[in-house]
Structure formats: C-alpha cells, structure tokens
C-alpha cells in the first residue's frame, strides 16, 4: 500500500462517517472530487511539492473548489490537512471516500477497455453478468484502445481481467524467449 493511501485512509473514513450521519454523502463526494482535481492540477501539485511554499497559501483555492455543499465542515477538513501538510493526499482521500461509498451502496464502477466500440446491448449484457458475479450494482464505463488489437480488459476495483490480444501476444513472446 502506498504512503498516500495510508495517509488518506483515516481522513476518508472519518469524512465518510460524517457524511453518512449528516446524510450528505453526495455533497461530500462532489466537494472531495473538486478538491482532488485541484490537487492533481500540475501547477498546484508543483506548489504542494515545493517545501518553500506553505499549504496555508493554498487554503482558499481548495475551499473555493469545494463549493458551498458542505460549508464549515469542508473548511475544517482543509484546515486540518493544511496543518498536517496533507493537501497533496486529497486525490487519494477522494478515491477512498468513493470506495467506501460504493461498498455502502453495494455499487461498483467497472471499466471496459476494448479495441473496437461495443454496442449498448453488449454493454448491458456485460454489466448484468458482472453484477451477478460481484453481487453489486455495476456501472460500466467504456473506453476504446486500438492498441489492444482485439479482445478486452475489464477492471472493477482490484479485479482485473486482461483478455486482450496484445496481452496474449506479450505472454507468448515471454514464453518463447524464456
């Protein structure tokens, strides 16, 4: 587990508990997503990684990005992360918050990467099969990557199936050269 994940875990859990208690999961999800986007911005990231720049100077940027949704609680979170110099962990906090949300709601987002576009009927069939397999409601997000040559890659949480022709060729090349 990465250091960022370890740092983010207590923040995400505490925030999720607060969001559940206040029935404001959507607001927190949106606020965290916006702040994560700010933290992932190249210019902001450079400032966060510069030891000569204090996180406190970035406080207004993060609070503004969060919007009005969570009010004083967002300001408290940002202030706590400023004091602890943890703003750079915001994308991981947001990601872990969404994982907790998915678990609580028994949903999961799956990514389908194919060499060619997949029609709506095929997507629906795959989403249904994944839902049965995982015991959760599956939201399918699709992407086309022609480098796969053929086949598909499915990612859902920690679960990955790589059935692409590219992976099979790489495996064959490794077997031949080994």
Please name the residue ranges forming H helices in the chain: 3-21, 25-40, 42-48, 59-66, 72-83, 90-105, 120-134, 165-177
Among 59, 86, 102, residue at a domain's last position: 102
For the entire predicted model, the pTM comes to 0.69
Q: What is the pLDDT of residue 50?
A: 83
Q: Which residues contact 136 (CB under 8 A, 6 or more apart)?
A: 102, 106, 107, 108
67, 102, 137: which is the final residue of a domain?
102
Mean pLDDT over all residues of the chain?
A: 89
- What's the CATH number where 71 sits? 1.10.520.20
Domain count, the chain: 2
Please identify, among 58, 82, 102, the residue that sits at the C-terminal boundary of a domain: 102
Chain segment 79-130, per-residue pLDDT in tens: 898 888 888 899 999 999 999 998 899 998 899 999 999 999 999 999 999 9
Between the alpha carbon of residue 148 and those of residues 43, 78, 93, the distances in Å are: 33, 41, 32
Kindly state whether residues 139 and 68 are assigned to the same domain: no
Say whether both 19 and 63 belong to one domain.
Answer: yes
């Amino acid at each position: 587990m990465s250091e960022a994940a370890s740092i983010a875990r207590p923040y995400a859990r505490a925030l999720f508990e607060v969001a559940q208690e206040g029935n404001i999961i959507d607001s927190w999800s949106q606020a965290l997503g916006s702040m994560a986007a700010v933290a992932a911005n190249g210019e902001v990231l450079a400032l966060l990684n510069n030891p000569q720049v204090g996180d406190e100077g970035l406080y207004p940027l993060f609070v503004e990005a969060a919007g009005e949704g969570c009010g004083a609680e967002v300001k408290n979170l940002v202030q706590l992360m400023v004091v602890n110099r943890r703003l750079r962990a915001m994308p991981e906090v947001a990601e872990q918050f969404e994982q907790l949300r998915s678990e609580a709601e028994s949903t999961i987002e799956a990514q389908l990467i194919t060499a060619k576009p997949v029609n709506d009927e095929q997507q629906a069939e795959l989403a249904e099969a994944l839902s049965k397999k995982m015991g959760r409601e599956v939201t399918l997000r699709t992407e086309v990557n022609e480098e796969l040559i053929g086949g598909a890659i499915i990612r859902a949480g920690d679960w990955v199936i790589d059935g692409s022709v590219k992976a099979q060729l790489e495996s064959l090349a490794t077997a031949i050269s080994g």
